[in-house]
């Protein structure tokens, strides 16, 4: 069965996701949606120019909303990265909300009108609040609306710990939880290297490593004025888990009934989206941090939803 994926927003992140899917054979058909038609058409043509030198064939259509009808996955990467310049000092991803909150309802309406019935993957920042807005405006079941969340932040933590200990980041397991933003935290009770708890290593500065993971995106942004490869890889990982029905445990932004908000927590992901929550035994301190992060996200969502509903 053909794997059909739509990408809404062909900026740096959307283009990087498309490139990853094309070069790895992760999709059979891609739909590019962007208000800048010339940009979307140019991206499609660029991939056509690459086709003779690529291993996989991918069919690409541009700005055809009705093509979403039988898509497996729609990925929202719309945004305005230039706004992050004002949030660089504080690492606040909510600076993009002034733009993204105005886009979501219209995009959600078009997704619904297309008859789309697959899984909506949200990358748009601030991702927890935007994912919640998409779910509210589309009316889709919460298990079918997933944010990339701290899947990227967890990878940044794995990189930081790996560098500190001189091991491959793939040897580091564990999670960053909560908001994809300032209130996130590393759940050190879950982090292990070769089976050993990292928190037991007295030589490691856990606070510094946690901060490095939290602010890693702004370190990249300072050098190239956008991020792309890290978030693209995380998104493709999530997309592959859905398409392959892998039942893999990933720290994605999903609706947490007990906390009444979207935030990142390990969930089992498959063809239907979120299948169920994975159990964690957090410490009292970590549970408190999760509760505080949830309260922050929920308040920001309530504020912006009330504004948009007026």
| Both structure tokens of 223 | 């050098």
Neighbour tally for 166: CB within 10 Å: 6
H or E segment at 263?
A: strand 261-270
**Cross-strand pairs, 187:** 175
117 in a known ligand binding site: no
310 in a known ligand binding site: no
Neighbour tally for 159: CB within 10 Å: 18
Contact 154, 126 (CB under 8 A): no
Which is catalytic among the residues 19, 59, 117, 180? 180
Cα-Cα-Cα-Cα dihedral sign, residues 91, 98, 131, 261? positive
147 in a known ligand binding site: no
10 in a known ligand binding site: yes
104 in a known ligand binding site: no
- Assign 95 to helix, strand or coil: helix
14 in a known ligand binding site: yes
Q: What is the DSSP letter of 245?
A: T
Is the bond preceding residue 126 a cis peptide, omega within 30 degrees? yes
- Assign 246 to helix, strand or coil: coil
182 in a known ligand binding site: no
**Cross-strand pairs, 255:** 262
For the CA atoms of 140, 39, 61, 274, the dihedral, rounded to the nearest 10 degrees, stands at: -30
Contact 305, 101 (CB under 8 A): no
209 in a known ligand binding site: no
180 is catalytic: yes
Point out the residues that are catalytic. Answer: 180
- Binding site membership: which residues? 9-14, 34, 123-125
- Binding site membership for NAD(+): which residues? 9-14, 34, 123-125
């Amino acid at each position: 069965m053909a794997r059909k994926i739509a990408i809404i927003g062909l900026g740096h992140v959307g283009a990087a996701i498309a490139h990853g899917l094309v070069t790895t054979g992760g999709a059979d058909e891609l739909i590019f949606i962007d208000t800048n038609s010339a940009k979307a058409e140019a991206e499609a043509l660029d991939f056509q120019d690459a086709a003779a030198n690529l291993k996989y064939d991918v069919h690409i259509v541009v700005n055809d909303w009705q093509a979403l009808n039988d898509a497996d996955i729609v990925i929202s990467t719309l945004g305005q990265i230039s706004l992050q310049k004002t949030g660089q000092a504080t690492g606040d991803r909510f600076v993009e909300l002034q733009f993204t909150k105005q886009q979501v309802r219209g995009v959600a309406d078009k997704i619904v009108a297309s008859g789309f019935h697959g899984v909506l993957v949200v990358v748009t920042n601030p991702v927890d609040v935007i994912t919640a807005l998409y779910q509210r405006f589309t009316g889709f079941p919460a298990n079918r609306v997933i944010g990339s969340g701290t899947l990227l932040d967890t990878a940044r933590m794995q990189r930081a710990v790996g560098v500190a200990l001189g091991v491959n980041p793939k040897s580091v397991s564990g999670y960053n939880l909560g908001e994809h933003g300032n209130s996130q935290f590393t759940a050190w009770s879950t982090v292990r290297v070769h089976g050993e708890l990292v928190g037991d290593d007295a030589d490691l500065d856990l606070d510094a490593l946690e901060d490095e993971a939290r602010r890693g995106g702004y370190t990249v942004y300072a050098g190239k004025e956008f991020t792309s490869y890290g978030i693209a890889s995380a998104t493709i990982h999530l997309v592959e888990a859905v398409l392959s029905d892998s039942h893999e445990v990933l720290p994605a932004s999903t609706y947490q009934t007990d906390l009444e908000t979207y935030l990142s927590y390990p969930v089992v992901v498959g063809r239907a989206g979120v299948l169920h929550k994975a159990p964690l035994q957090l410490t009292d301190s970590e549970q408190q941090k999760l509760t505080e992060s949830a309260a922050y996200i929920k308040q920001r969502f309530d504020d912006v939803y009330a504004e948009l509903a007026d």
